[in-house]
Amino acid sequence: MKVCKFGGTSMATTQSILQVKSIIDRDPERKFIVVSAPGKRFSNDVKITDMLYAAYDEKVAFGTCKSSMKVIRERFLGLCEELGLDIDMNKYLDEVEEGIINSTSSDYAASRGEYLSAIVVSAVLGFKMIDAGDIIKFNNNGIFDAELTNDLVKKYADYTDGIVIPGFYGRMPDKTIKTFTRGGSDFTGAIIARGIGARIYENWTDVNGFMVTDPRIVENPKHISVLSYEELRELSYMGAGVLHPDSIFPVQIDNIPINIRNTFDPENEGTMIMDNTAGYVLPVVTGIAGRKGNTTILIKKAMMNGELGFCRKVLTVLERHGISVEHIPTGIDTMGIVLSDAGLKNADEEKIISDIRGMVNPDFIKISHSLALIAVVGHGMVNQLGTAAKIFTALYEAGVNIRMIDQGSSELNIIVGVEEKDYNASIKAIYNAFFG
């Protein structure tokens, strides 16, 4: 049996939903369908989820969300009319509007795009709809309860008549709705795949799988046909946004492959993601990804390496300020800490620096912004001579100054930090060095 997750572009229009039906009808194994909220129909359009957030904001400001809901109603009623569905969609839309007015957080509103999508798609396919809140569970602390959820999903493993499940959300013990982070429908699909013991998890989107690097930077980059779970994690975390980076965890437990496919080019085999890529001919570098928006804290202190607990003390300060750390490149007398700008959004940088001074009394401390991180990822790099030299030579020849170098102990990736202004040039230079 296969689990198929369809993204927002697949849910956006009547034509795309009919394309989804065609894909499902072609393969009798496609019986478990996870859907996202409708995405953009054209470049200046607004995603349904963003409309629903706006509805919640309207409710907070004015006690009503009728204005925002009017646009959402038109969108779903239009879909039902064009698809010729005989369902009372207004009943569900009334339920959503009332629920938003009575809710105390935006999670309920944010989840309703997937919920309404599932109602539409289940009617189109003639499949049973199961509310994600009935099977996806969180504990009292808002943490996803993997084992309880797996037990609830497993009950449907032998169901062969077809099921549609909304992605992105579940339910707390007190029955309130709790959402995953944006893109969480990918995670829902992986949860269902594990629970029913799927043969494969197909994730249908609007691209033909993973490219070696960002096509907005490098024109027509090569396609990646096979990825390992570990390579996926590295590339997704560093900005390759085809799949939610947490999606591998449920399927990895039972070694279920993920196949990234294109709803609008269903004959393309896409990218296969699996635990073991042994037996495949692998390039030295599988993918190149990166992200801007990072900050570094540079600390210098003579004999730092001999000072017991030095790193722990610095990290304790950051923990106390609620800041997670991305990378920690170190030397004998230096320590670099890389933080995401998003994680520093509400932080008092001067207070952080002052607290570090008070904790470890450094000789020098400086905070710098505008750092871009670029990860060069691939199992083929293991024991391959000259990989790092090729990266650094390419950057040198492109006139790029390297501010940071970090390599994981598994030799799966090499991460370099460059100025944000050099980001695109760096991606192009590294790509051309290995694929140009």
pLDDT greater than 90 at residue 381: no
Domain assignments of the chain as residue spans, ordered by start: 2-267, 287-435
Summarize pLDDT for 289-304 with one digit per residue, the tens: 999 999 999 999 999 9
Residue 119 pLDDT > 80 = yes
pLDDT band at 280 (very low <50, low <70, confident <90, very high): confident
3-state secondary structure string, the chain?
A: CEEEEECHHHHCCHHHHHHHHHHHHHCCCEEEEEECCCCCCCCCCCCHHHHHHHHHHHHHHHCCCHHHHHHHHHHHHHHHHHHCCCCCHHHHHHHHHHHHHHCCCHHHHHHHHHHHHHHHHHHHHCCEECCHHHCCEECCCCCECHHHHHHHHHCCCCCCCCEEEECCEEECCCCCEEECCCCCHHHHHHHHHHHHCCCEEEEEECCCCCECCCCCCCCCCCECCEEEHHHHHHHHHCCCCCCCHHHHHHHHHCCCCEEEEECCCCCCCCEEEECCCCCCCCCCCCEEEEEEEEEEEEEECCCHHHCCCHHHHHHHHHHHCCCCCCECCECCCEEEEEEECCCCCCCCHHHHHHHHHHHHCCCEEEEEEEEEEEEEECHHHCCCCCHHHHHHHHHHHCCCCEEEEEECCCCCEEEEEEEHHHHHHHHHHHHHHHHC
Supply the pLDDT for residue 414.
Answer: 93
- Binned at pLDDT 50, 70 and 90, residue 152 comes out as very high
Residue 256's pLDDT band, with cuts at 50, 70 and 90, is very high
Q: What number does CATH give the domain 2-267?
A: 3.40.1160.10
pLDDT value at position 245? 78
Mean pLDDT, the chain, integer: 94
The matching CATH number, chosen from 3.30.2130.10, 3.40.50.300, 3.40.50.410, 3.40.50.11540, for 287-435 is: 3.30.2130.10
pLDDT at 384 over 90: no
What confidence tier does 411 reach under pLDDT thresholds 50, 70, 90?
Answer: confident
Question: Does pLDDT of 358 surpass 90?
Answer: yes
Please tell me the predicted confidence (pLDDT) of residue 58: 98
Res. 408: pLDDT tops 80: no
Asked if pLDDT for residue 334 goes beyond 80, the answer is yes
pLDDT 10s digits, 189-238: 999 999 999 999 999 999 999 999 999 999 999 999 999 998 988 898 88
Comparing 110-124, 190-204, 320-334, the range with the smallest average pLDDT is: 320-334
The yes-or-no answer to whether 2-267 and 287-435 have a common fold is no
**Residue 322 corresponds to which tokens in the numbers above?**
């609620």
Q: What is the mean pLDDT of residues 386-415?
A: 90
User: Has this prediction a pTM greater than 0.95?
Assistant: no
Write out pLDDT tens, residues 2-50. Answer: 999 999 999 999 999 999 999 999 999 999 999 999 999 999 999 999 9
**What number of other Cβ atoms are within 10 A of residue 312's Cβ?**
11
